[in-house]
Structure 1
């Protein structure tokens, strides 16, 4: 966790303040609506790899516009209020609610009150998209624009975020281990999915249809199995065409695409857990039988080869052309 303090509003260099927030959280356009000479601007932030937690208070009434490139922003006012226009919808949040800003979409926070300090959680788009798919069998487009944090799941999520951020502030060395940081990021992301898609009772439409649940759970339990469309349909208890329609309707992807994503995620987690394990063994244990295809799919998903991931963890450089 890094902490920055600001001086009285009259002496704040707003360009410098905006640059600090952009570096810690998201690039944006800042407009000061009304300054308060007695207020202070404050910023704290901590990075958990693909996820960042920031505490931001401008100390003045401002408006902020951001496209949130490549990541979701979940903004939780801990005081004051936050008015925003998110994907054409007007959202007003106070303590107990969160404004959820989608990635790569312009959001205008038209009124960020001078007494509003937010806990902002920046979650990499790929991380949250995967968790929404695997944990809730939903598309990322189903993520609500506002989250009620007064629910048990909502309270649990914000308490987890606050606790981990405070621990990192007190003991910053805990995040020097990349694997530890990424595991904590996954925990925060998974808890957010639970808050965004809480369990529904039998009188409501289930968030995860049974046929989808059965298939995803079966793949997660044994990703290395020789899954075919026929035996996945057998697991679901429906025909192949019905299974395909179910996945397209509720997940937006085919069963084979979901199978590939789950296998890649298993391989990625295995590599992070044991970076010294042979890449071929990790690929095989995740269900890949062709190392070249695995390396290509891994690069497309994570933006680097498996050996590059391992090198970053171990602090070495892979030889040219090595997978």
Structure 2
């Protein structure tokens, strides 16, 4: 498997102190998406201070907050927020579920699902925010295939677990007075830190790709699964339904679906899209001047815009960005 390093990028680590909630809203608006902040009590005095760092695709911080308030996103952000509290509590409301952080519970909040966050008491925490394309792009490298089912992280884990402790320790280190300022002058080190944070999150925080990342060498698939796989590989441009593949393999649709989940690790439809994306990517490399629309159609994607979004979700970058990176 050929690995590629995460792209080199500008980095910055600064100390900060905010004296009002509007300043926090401005910061989040500039980096992520517009938010509204509502204090629980009009008399509450808000302050926030600490160390904040950014390397393209990742933000990390060590912060202390005073005041109780609700943070309400006005537009969703395609990233995952990981929090490691040392004092105080936050409650995250996502679609139908709510979960709380505490000094004993670290949380992962999906920026696309978050409805609001309650800051309920004075608290301190370390945090890491990772853009989803960076997560899927790195997964694609580690697994040597496109990612057609986005990683979903377990909302809460025990702060005493090895992964949570390691992540918090790493953030504490890179935001320390001794280490943090050096990142402003050390671009190669910043790249390695960024890669270490992404890999540590993917490997230690339970998510929907954890089993695949830690899976032993693949088991031998039964004959009916192999027949379906062989057909998909030989006719990747076609779009047979699961029922048609099951008939071809001589089993029920339910048996074939179960076989794919157990021996391939994804659904039938997800695997078909994976193979079509792999073939389209290979075509882009072989024919860098070819029309993206024509390549998309060749591999069964009837809408070029949708193809580009699938490609971005699978590889962490758009087809046009891939071509610009090609030497």
**TM-score with structure 2 length normalisation?**
0.57
User: How is 1:1-323 mapped onto 2 (pairs within 5 angstroms)?
Assistant: 1-7=11-17, 12-32=19-39, 33=41, 34-35=44-45, 41-49=49-57, 52-55=58-61, 57=63, 59-67=65-73, 69-87=76-94, 88-124=96-132, 127=135, 143-158=153-168, 170-172=182-184, 173-174=187-188, 187-188=199-200, 190-191=202-203, 194=206, 239=251, 241-246=253-258, 254-261=267-274, 264=277, 278-279=287-288, 290=298, 296=304, 298-302=307-311, 306-311=319-324, 313=325
- What RMSD, in angstroms, separates the aligned Cα atoms of the two structures? 5.7
> Which whole-Å CA distance do the structure 1 matches of 2:119 and 2:132 have between them?
25
> Which whole-Å CA distance do the structure 1 matches of 2:126 and 2:190 have between them?
26
1:300 match: secondary structure: helix
Q: Offset at 1:55?
A: 1.2
Distance 1:98 1:294, change over 3 A: farther
Which has the higher relative contact order, 1 or 2, with Cα contacts under 8 A spaced 6 or more apart?
2
Structure 1, 95-104 or 289-298: larger mean CA deviation? 289-298
Distance 1:124 1:66, change over 3 A: farther
Q: Offset at 1:294?
A: 10
Show structure 1 runs of 5+ residues with no match: 200-208, 316-323
> Which whole-Å CA distance do the structure 2 matches of 1:295 and 1:164 have between them?
44
Structure 1, 246-255 or 16-25: larger mean CA deviation? 246-255
2:123 match: secondary structure: coil
Show structure 2 runs of 5+ residues with no match: 1-10, 212-218
Query: Over residues 202-243 of structure 1, what are the superposed CA-to-partner deviations in whole Å (9 max), with x where a residue is unaligned?
Result: xxxxxxx9979x979x98xxx97667979x98xxx9936235
> Which whole-Å CA distance do the structure 2 matches of 1:171 and 1:266 have between them?
39
**TM-score with structure 1 length normalisation?**
0.58
1:144 match: secondary structure: coil
Query: Across the two proteins, how many residue pairs are aligned to each other?
Result: 279
- Mapped contact 1:131–1:189 kept (Cα < 8 A): no
